[in-house]
Amino acid sequence: MDSLIEWAVSIFVIIGGVFALVGSVGLTRLPDFYTRLHGPTKATTLGVGGTILGSLIYFSWQEHALQLHEVLITLFLFITAPVSAHMLAKAAMHRDLKRMKGTRGEPWKQ
């Protein structure tokens, strides 16, 4: 059973690392602020979530009890990441940051 837990932890950590890598590459390669914002908020959130899930499995197995620290970290992450991305996008729209041609949505002007 120990090898099954080790495999599960390894798979979740690798999946988390791949998502974090994809989000980081998206942050550097995408052309404008709005598309750059999309990469880290989606892919990196899943990357950290996968890594924390692997940590949850590992430490819960070691202590023979559910570890609530990782659950709270995951809950906090999945609540705050979309809110902070929304606030950054709204601030960029109010500052009239340049968008690439294919970016949809126009800021509302009064």
In a domain, 66, yes or no: yes
- Top mean pLDDT of 35-39, 71-75, 103-107 is at 71-75
In a domain, 101, yes or no: no
pLDDT tens per residue, range 54-69: 999 999 999 888 888 8
In a domain, 87, yes or no: yes
In a domain, 108, yes or no: no
Exposed / middle / buried, residue 28 (Cβ in 10 Å: 0-12, 13-18, 19+):
exposed
In a domain, 19, yes or no: yes
**Residue 61 DSSP class:** H
In a domain, 104, yes or no: no
Domain with 76 in it: 3-95
pLDDT tens per residue, range 2-27: 899 999 999 999 999 999 898 888 88
Domain total for the chain?
1
In a domain, 45, yes or no: yes
Give the angle 5-21-23 at the CA atoms, nearest 5°: 115
